[in-house]
Amino acid sequence: IPVERIRNFSIIAHVDHGKSTLADRILELTGAITKQEGQHQVLDNLQVERERGITVKAQTASIFYKYKDQQTYLLNLIDTPGHVDFSNEVSRSLAACDGVILLVDACHGVQAQTVANYHLAKQRNLIVVPVLNKIDIKHAQPEKVIQDLQFLFQIDPKTVLQVSAKLGLGIKEVLNRVIESIPPPQVQREQEFRALIFDSWFDKYRGALNLIYILNGHLEQGQEIQSMATKKIYPLKTISILRPKECDVKSLSAGQVGLIACNMRNSKESIIGDTIYLKNQIVQSAGNYTPQKPLVFAGIFPVDQSKHVALRSAIDKMILNDSAVTLMVDSSPALGQGWRLGFLGLLHMEVFCQRLEQEHNAEPIITAPSVTYRIVLNNPRMIKQMGKNTLDISNAALFPEPSNIKEYYEPLVMGTIITPSEYVGQIIALCIDRRGVQQSSINIDETRILMTYVLPLSEIILDFHDRLKSLSSGYASFSYEDHGYHLTNLVRLDIHLNGRPVEELCRIVHATKATGIARQMVHKLKDLIPRQMVQIAIQACVGSKVLARETIKAYRKDVTAKLYGGDVTRRMKLLRQQAEGKKKMRMFANIRVPHETFINVLKR
Ligand code: GDP
Ligand code: MG
């Protein structure tokens, strides 16, 4: 297929606005899947996505579509993730696109991620095809939403398409518009082969599979490719396209999106954002793409060092399927040899850890998540030793003594919030509590307000999104992106159990919030740690100063003792809970701490 008849695009939308449903309808219409498959796929996808609240694995599809001119066009639909944690990651998928379908729910209207994704597309100079979805719903307000699109993005109302992805109405018009308004890829087929790796995942039998976008030339079976990042050479095993099922092809040409397998073994070899080319050729980097930067870091350690190798291999496989996670070796006096992982947000981290447990049977120790702080040292000896005077630190346990630090910096985000006006007061109060500074506030229409806030990243990673949702009965939406560093004042908060510091719970916090967080943490720990045979003193300290303390009294009797002769099922349940509890306990001297405590204690 000639380049002029290729279109590369993705669908961007706020979560639940119908992106997956529209993608399925497009696949059905073009015969890539049958109606039944469509239903299955929708169900399967939804189940996984609903359970975890995010698109776990991007689905990309190459579609052949016969346009009015009776010519067959190749449409490459490139998927983007749909959760607030991942809004920065949308850029990665857009690197292979020339345009986007901006899909907006005609009932709920423009939401925070609609705005954020629109701006990402505009930054890349992509053509935007505006589409309203769910027009079958009785209380849909397409006219109002079209007005919002005009007001916020200067979109011409005449260009807005209206569809029902659920009922399959208006889908053809969308594809026709994609062909008419999105330009073909700007690529040269006569030049040396060059491609961008923009996604990768792990296959048990074939190793890493790389999704590539070809910028120049052709790739054929039997050729050898080289990685620009590692300079390693690989013979191609398979070349295929996703329709969305994998179909082998003999070759791929510039403008196309395809999948290659070439015996790359792990995440160090298969690098998203890397350029590949034919062995020993010299080409320029395909690098109009910078990889996603993780924002939240946590240490991960095997429960005992005999599990080290198994955990490493489980993590490696997980990372191949989730390349946004970064990995560094880490070690700790208390926890031994382990790793420091970087995530896009707390949800991303929770999903990763949950899958590690479920799919790989790993039960690692995970430390309190932290953002990356930047410190400027004032101790000449340390500066000399480090060879620099600034340090980026995401591991609270590695924070130098305050006397060695001249300045502290913390990462900020630019947040976008869209809310019905009646919740504005409470939302502003929440943002102030989280040290947010308002940048702008505009009325989208009579009922809704769009606000932007600069917020410290550390204040939003844990529970900001949940709080916002519950304050607004689910109506407010939020999206954020990186906004650099600013000068701040930090302290290290340590938690001691019976005088012994618990490294997993050590945190860096803003100085003005230390006492509040200290009280909250000890209070929560008192609830989360079960009573035991010994009395437990919980203390939160900054340096040698104790900011808060609580005590958990020791048991006097066996839990079930007073139930003897009583309700048998109740007793069984208690015993079962105890047994289950035992599996996932972390020991501190003689104190048992349930595994999930380490994450739960951080949620407000
Ligand atoms: P995504 O999060 O953007 O991928 O959204 P989904 O495709 O998962 O859709 C979210 C929900 O909206 C699902 O319950 C769909 O069945 C529903 N939905 C999607 N499109 C339509 C539509 O055109 N009309 C109606 N009534 N519901 C729709
Ligand atoms: Mg979806």
On the 0-12 / 13-18 / 19+ scale of CB atoms within 10 A, 86 is buried
Task: Over range 408-428, report the average pLDDT.
Answer: 95
Task: Over range 530-549, report the average pLDDT.
Answer: 91
Give the Cα separation of 602 and 593 in Å (integer): 15
Give the Cα separation of 165 and 138 in Å (integer): 15
Is the reported ipTM for this assembly greater than 0.95? yes
Confidence of residue 50 (pLDDT cuts 50, 70, 90): very low
Residue 48 β-bridge partners: none
Give the Cα separation of 524 and 600 in Å (integer): 8
pLDDT digits (tens, 9 = 90+) for 512-523: 999 999 999 999
Q: What average pLDDT is seen over the chain?
A: 85
Confidence of residue 56 (pLDDT cuts 50, 70, 90): very low
Confidence of residue 599 (pLDDT cuts 50, 70, 90): low
Identify which of 11, 12, 16, 133 to mutate to test ligand 1's pocket (most ligand atoms within 8 A of the CB).
16
Task: Identify the helix (H) or strand (E) that includes residue 529.
Answer: none
| Highest mean predicted confidence (pLDDT) among 55-59, 83-87, 504-508 | 504-508
* Higher-confidence position of 382 and 462: 382
On the 0-12 / 13-18 / 19+ scale of CB atoms within 10 A, 35 is exposed
Which residues contact ligand 1 via a Cβ below 6 A? 13, 15-21, 46, 82, 133-134, 136-137, 164-166
Task: Over range 462-467, report the average pLDDT.
Answer: 85
Question: Look-up: residue for tokens 């997993």?
Answer: 504
Provide the token pair at 284.
């320029």
Question: Look-up: residue for tokens 């390349």?
Answer: 323
Task: Identify the helix (H) or strand (E) that includes residue 213.
Answer: strand 207-216
Among residues 392, 390, 520, 373, the alpha carbon closest in space to that of 457 is found at 373
pLDDT digits (tens, 9 = 90+) for 266-309: 767 888 888 999 998 888 887 655 666 788 898 898 877 788 99
Does residue 235 have a cis bond before it (omega within 30 degrees)? Answer: no
Confidence of residue 362 (pLDDT cuts 50, 70, 90): confident
Residues sharing a CB contact under 8 Å with residue 119, sequence separation 6 or more, in sequence order: none
Q: Measure 16 CA to ligand 1 centroid, in angstroms.
A: 6
- For residue 149, the model assigns a pLDDT of 97
* Higher-confidence position of 80 and 604: 80
Q: Measure 18 CA to ligand 1 centroid, in angstroms.
A: 4
H helices present in 163-307, as ranges: 171-181
Confidence of residue 423 (pLDDT cuts 50, 70, 90): very high
Give the Cα separation of 447 and 286 in Å (integer): 45
Instruction: Specify the pTM.
Output: 0.80
Q: What is the residue-wise DSSP string for 305-368? A: GGGHHHHHHHHHHHHHT-TT-EEEEEEETTTEEEEEEEESSHHHHHHHHHHHHHHH----EEPP
Q: Where are the beta strands (DSSP E) in 14-152?
A: 61-66, 72-78, 99-105, 127-133
Q: Which of 19-23, 81-85, 173-177, 448-452 has the lowest mean pLDDT?
A: 81-85
Identify which of 166, 167, 169 to mutate to test ligand 1's pocket (most ligand atoms within 8 A of the CB).
166
Known binding-site positions for GTP: 13-20, 79-83, 133-136
- For residue 85, the model assigns a pLDDT of 63
Q: Is the pLDDT of residue 40 over 50?
A: no
Q: Measure 40 CA to ligand 1 centroid, in angstroms.
A: 15
Task: Over range 42-70, report the average pLDDT.
Answer: 62
H helices present in 53-125, as ranges: 90-94, 112-123
Share of the chain above pLDDT 90, in %: 50
Confidence of residue 559 (pLDDT cuts 50, 70, 90): low
- Taking CA atoms, 354 is separated from 51, 350, 596, in Å, by 11, 6, 11
Q: Is the pLDDT of residue 49 over 60?
A: no
Quick check: helix, strand or coil at residue 430?
A: helix
